[in-house]
């Protein structure tokens, strides 16, 4: 078979972020764009000849086309074996698991996570290394540098692989295995969770709905919840991965999964409702008439995790991203667990997981994971919640209310200002950073600033300190405001403002969230002067 070096010229904008390369589909469709990026990845890796590469994506528009290109390039670059999900489908956690299971060199995951799909939507390519997790920042930078000078990529001229047929094919010396997308992941979940306990729980007739949002988790949820655990057929809704996610924005939160929220808050609504995002790493949990904030969910998972057999005696530490509410801290203190507050981005958790410092981690942005694999994992989180409910016999709301009674409640909310002009967003960040220098001791209504400034993270394994462009304003009594710019958007800028207020008075555990946070929101408006810089009075998406 003919391996050809095809001449190419650099594109100017192949800069990678923490979640790989994420851009509009129209950008990816430019001739040679994917080839340049994938070859740049391969050019920065060493020692993959003859090794295994896992390939799969969330089924969004351009998934299969990209996979066919990548397979041919992997052949030309001399990988030894490719394992690809049937029809190109693999959720991010399933791909991560396959990397570990097959001791693969790494994997290429095609997804733009929770960003919209379709021909006008977003696409993305992410490289995960042998740990199963995202490639480290240093490698991503190297790849970006490589994209700037690349002048050729390697390609073979061979017909497209039939991805619909499960089985092994050989092309030259390359072995290509098309595998069932769900089998291995489902088996792994069975090793982690007590499926008999969960089967009995479903037998009791619990009303359960899982919304796959027309994205990747449909086949996983149908197999695990309906077939293996005996949940009622049809309880998995929007269960077929579609190129445009059927027009849904596959981001499980109160705004984009409103249809599910409405269902949970209806008269005969489900006892337990859950959803996952485009590529299956995020999750949302609802009870009947009840929403579980992801920060509370993480704290509750920490409290109960050792009830799940796989974790018995293994909960050696926990982590949350720094903007995630401090609800987890109270559990860590009560259990005497080391707690790490990391910058946003899974790679920080990845390093803690790799170094066995933590067994559980999560984010306010509807993501959580554990030592079971080096990515966040939506279906895993839902199974963990089901295990808590099955074990305690309590409802979702009871579990959360009891948690608040025991540890107090940290009211929290994220206000997202989307589609800002980049210059305006930077101006607000600059202004805020300047303001923080003189904030200590200042009074905003009943709130007194204790400390303010940029967030510094010290890596516990290397002891290297890093100052991040994240503004934190801490008030006495445990209230705080955190402001940062999103790193995952595909156009313009998104500013995220995170609010926390701790309440231990048991008479105030069920107040309105936004009203409770109103004085903090007012303080942010005053300190940031956001209206002057951006013209915005309110956030676009509040979660
Ligand atoms: C967002 C979330 C962050 C998450 C990331 C990838 O990043 O806020 O918690 O790790 O997506 O799913 P951001 O857009 O805020 O940079
Ligand atoms: Zn995702």
pLDDT digits (tens, 9 = 90+) for 7-16: 999 998 777 7
Q: Phi/psi of residue 263, each to 5°?
A: -60, -45
Catalytic residue among 111, 113, 181, 486: 113
Q: What pLDDT is recorded for position 295?
A: 98
Report yes or no: 93 and 43 within 8 Å, Cβ to Cβ: no
**Mean pLDDT, rounded, for 433-448:** 96
Counting atoms of ligand 1 from 1, which one is nearest the CA of 114?
Answer: 12
The CATH-assigned architecture of domain 409-542 is 2-Layer Sandwich (3.30)
Name which residue sits closest to atom 8 of ligand 1, judged by CA: 365
Give the phi and the psi of residue 68 in degrees, each rounded to 5. -60, -45
Residue 17 has a pLDDT of 75
User: Quick check: 48 and 42 in contact, CB under 8 A?
Assistant: yes
Catalytic site includes residue 113: yes
pLDDT over 80 at 483, yes or no: yes
pLDDT at residue 359 is higher than 70: yes
Residues within 6 Å of ligand 1 by CB = 19, 113, 321, 344-346, 363, 365, 367, 486-488, 496
- Per-residue pLDDT, 490: 67
**What's the rounded mean pLDDT across residues 425-442?**
97
Closest CA to 287 of 310, 268, 309, 271: 271
Ligand nearest the Cα atom of residue 281: 2
pLDDT of residue 489: 72
Kind of pairing, strands 493-503 and 236-237? unpaired
Which ligand 1 atom is nearest residue 365's CA? 9
Q: Is-same-fold flag (185-407; 409-542)?
A: no
Q: Break the chain into its structural domains and give their ranges.
A: 2-180, 185-407, 409-542
How much is the mean pLDDT over the chain? 96
- The three-class DSSP label of residue 421 is coil
Q: What percent of the chain has pLDDT over 70?
A: 100
Residue partners of 34: CB distance under 8 A and separation at least 6: 28, 66, 69, 70, 125
| pLDDT > 70? residue 137 | yes
Predicted TM-score (pTM) of the model is 0.96
CATH superfamily of 2-180: Alpha-D-Glucose-1,6-Bisphosphate, subunit A, domain 3 (3.40.120.10)
Quick one: 185-407 is in which CATH superfamily? Answer: Alpha-D-Glucose-1,6-Bisphosphate, subunit A, domain 3 (3.40.120.10)
Ligand 1 nearest atom to the CA of residue 346, by list position:
10
């Amino acid at each position: 078979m003919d391996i050809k070096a095809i001449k190419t010229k650099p594109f100017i904008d192949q800069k990678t972020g923490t979640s790989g390369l994420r851009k509009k589909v129209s950008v990816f469709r430019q001739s040679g764009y994917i080839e340049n990026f994938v070859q740049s990845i391969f050019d920065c890796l060493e020692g993959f000849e003859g090794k295994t590469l896992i390939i799969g994506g969330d089924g969004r528009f351009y998934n299969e086309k990209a996979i066919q290109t990548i397979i041919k390039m992997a052949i030309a670059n001399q990988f030894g074996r490719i394992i690809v999900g049937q029809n190109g489908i693999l959720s991010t956690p399933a791909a991560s698991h396959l990397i570990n299971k097959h001791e693969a060199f790494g994997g290429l995951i095609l997804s733009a996570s929770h960003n919209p799909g379709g021909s006008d939507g977003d696409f993305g390519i992410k490289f995960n290394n042998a740990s199963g997790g995202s490639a480290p920042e240093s490698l991503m930078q190297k790849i970006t540098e490589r994209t700037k000078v690349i002048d050729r990529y390697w390609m073979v001229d061979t017909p497209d692989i039939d991805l619909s047929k499960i089985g092994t094919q050989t092309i030259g010396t390359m072995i290509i295995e098309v595998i069932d997308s769900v089998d291995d992941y489902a088996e792994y979940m069975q090793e982690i969770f007590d499926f008999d306990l969960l089967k009995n729980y479903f037998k009791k007739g619990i009303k359960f709905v899982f919304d796959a949002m027309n994205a990747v988790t449909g086949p996983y949820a149908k197999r695990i919840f309906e077939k293996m655990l005996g949940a009622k057929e049809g309880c998995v809704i929007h269960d077929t991965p579609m190129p445009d996610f059927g027009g849904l924005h596959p981001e499980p939160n109160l705004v984009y999964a409103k249809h599910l929220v409405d269902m949970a808050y209806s008269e005969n609504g489900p006892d337990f409702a859950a959803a996952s995002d485009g590529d299956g790493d995020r999750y949302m949990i609802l009870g009947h008439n009840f929403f579980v904030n992801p920060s509370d969910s993480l704290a509750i998972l920490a409290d109960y995790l050792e009830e799940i057999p796989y974790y018995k005696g293994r909960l050696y530490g926990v982590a949350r991203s720094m903007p995630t509410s401090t609800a987890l801290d109270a559990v860590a203190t009560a259990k005497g667990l080391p707690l790490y507050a990391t910058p946003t981005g899974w790679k920080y958790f990845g390093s803690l997981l790799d170094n066995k410092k933590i067994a559980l981690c999560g984010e306010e942005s509807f993501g959580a994971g554990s030592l079971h694999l080096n990515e966040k994992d939506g279906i895993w989180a839902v199974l963990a919640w089901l295990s808590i409910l099955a074990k305690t016999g309590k409802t979702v709301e009871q579990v959360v209310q009891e948690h608040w009674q025991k540890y107090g409640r940290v009211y929290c909310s994220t206000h997202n200002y989307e589609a800002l002009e980049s210059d305006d967003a930077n101006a607000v960040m600059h202004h805020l950073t300047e303001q923080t220098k003189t904030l200590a001791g200042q009074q905003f209504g009943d709130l007194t600033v204790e400390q303010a400034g940029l967030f510094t993270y010290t890596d516990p394994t290397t002891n290297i300190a890093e100052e991040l462009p994240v503004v934190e304003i801490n008030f006495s009594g445990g209230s705080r405001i955190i402001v940062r710019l999103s790193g995952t958007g595909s156009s313009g800028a998104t500013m995220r403002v995170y609010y926390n207020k701790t309440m231990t008075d048991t008479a105030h555990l069920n107040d309105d969230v936004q009203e409770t946070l109103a004085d903090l929101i007012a303080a942010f408006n005053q300190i940031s002067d956001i209206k002057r810089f951006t013209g915005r009075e309110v956030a676009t998406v509040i979660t």
